[in-house]
Amino acid sequence: MTLRNPFGADVYQRRLRPRDEDIRGPYFRDQTAVIHSMPFRRLKHKTQVFFSPDNDHVCTRMEHTLHVGTIASAICRAFGLDVDLAQAIGLGHDLGHAPFGHRGEEVLKDLLREHGGFHHELYALRVVDKLANNGQGLNLTYGVRDGIVCHCGEKYEREIAPRAEAVDLATITTLGIYPCSYEGCIVRVSDKVSYLGRDIEDAYRAGLVREELIPRRVRDSLGRKNGEIIDTLVNDIIAETQRTGKIAFSEGNIDLMRQLYDFNMSNIYRSQPLVEYGQFCEKILRSLFAELGELYARNGADYDRYDHDPVPLFRRFGRHLRKLAHVYGTERTPVAVMVGDYIAGMSDDYALKCMHEVFIPEPLEFDLPRGAAED
């Protein structure tokens, strides 16, 4: 079966600012732009499920991103779709995630509720269009930007197909809009395929669940290990898509996925250890948000005042504001949004470091001058 996207290459390959393409091609160039960006580098220290893990084998946001790209690429190959486009979307789809995973997103959503809230997929578009590269953005193609901002669905849909409107992506303010390419739709379903089994692997390691607790029908039909689950669902998507012409799961397997997600929600995402640590993380983000907001109220756009502040975080925040002054000046960004931009870009470890700098001052040194006598 051949899947044909609604639009021609001129739509999907259009950039915010025209540029000559090179030997890499537009979508591979987008991959390299994402990989070399600072927001992508920080994904290695951002939570997937387990906060700031001290175990090298626990999944981070970067590992999840790589899984999504490889799963989507495998499905695209079955239909002769553009693997470079799918990989680029996969690499960039979570650039907007806050520190401390979905708990961090919930906190920022509340803190920014008067300014439209916070949704990582919408924020990811802001990152690649405006904030990355010192406020120049990454100048990605429309197809990649579209796949990023439309990658996340609130529900486990059985089937999806590309939308037929090439809308201005900057005007999207609601969730649930489908991507306008098959590659984007495939990344959207691959996102779910990638984390269901992987989260269970980490939960085994953390001692939160045991294999025998997972519903037997899920174990017997989808698989017991992450690799088995991915293999089952990828083959199911390919078979159902060939049958329906839409990116689809079979009725039986989408039901099993929902059961597994419900199990994960009860036993992992809402488990007591994660809930308790999430409360700790919430206090960190709310405290940093308040401190930086008060700092801006004192200093405003007087960047020299930030440079001379004794708190390292406050100096770095001033440099951040200076770099993005042209962005914030043009759009007249509210203070809360500027602070939210900075906090959303933090890794887990960096947020913890900032909290330490603000609330746990360095001890004073009492080194005696040379030649002084000591008792």
* Per-residue confidence (pLDDT) for residue 11, from 0 to 100: 98
Q: Is 190 exposed, middle or buried (0-12, 13-18, 19+ CB in 10 A)?
A: buried
* Per-residue confidence (pLDDT) for residue 140, from 0 to 100: 99
Q: What is the pLDDT of residues 118-141, one digit of tens each?
A: 999 999 999 999 999 999 999 999
* Per-residue confidence (pLDDT) for residue 155, from 0 to 100: 77
Say how many CA atoms lie within 13 Å of 159 toward its Cβ.
16
| Residue bearing the bigger pLDDT, 54 or 272 | 272
* Per-residue confidence (pLDDT) for residue 16, from 0 to 100: 96
Q: How far is CA 204 from the centre of its chain?
A: 24
What is the average pLDDT across 349-356?
96
Q: What is the pLDDT of residues 239-268, one digit of tens each?
A: 999 999 999 999 999 999 999 999 999 999
pLDDT-based confidence at residue 205 (cuts at 50, 70, 90): confident
Phi, psi of 10 (to 5 degrees): -60, -30
Which residue has tokens 């489908």? 178
* Residue 68 to residue 75: CA distance in whole angstroms: 11
Look at residue 87 and tell me whether its pLDDT is greater than 70.
yes
* Per-residue confidence (pLDDT) for residue 152, from 0 to 100: 86
- What three-state secondary structure class fits 230? helix
Q: What is the pLDDT of residues 139-190, one digit of tens each?
A: 999 999 999 999 986 678 999 999 999 999 999 988 889 999 999 999 999 9
Topology of 9-271 in CATH?
Hypothetical protein af1432 (1.10.3210)
* Residue 93 to residue 120: CA distance in whole angstroms: 9
Q: Which of 107, 161, 96 is nearest to 130 (CA)?
A: 96
pLDDT-based confidence at residue 276 (cuts at 50, 70, 90): very high
Lowest mean pLDDT among 76-80, 90-94, 245-249, 362-366: 362-366
* Residue 100 to residue 102: CA distance in whole angstroms: 7
What is the average pLDDT across 38-67?
87
Strand partners, 248: 159
Domain with CATH 1.10.3210.10 in the chain: 9-271
Which residue has tokens 């005007």? 171
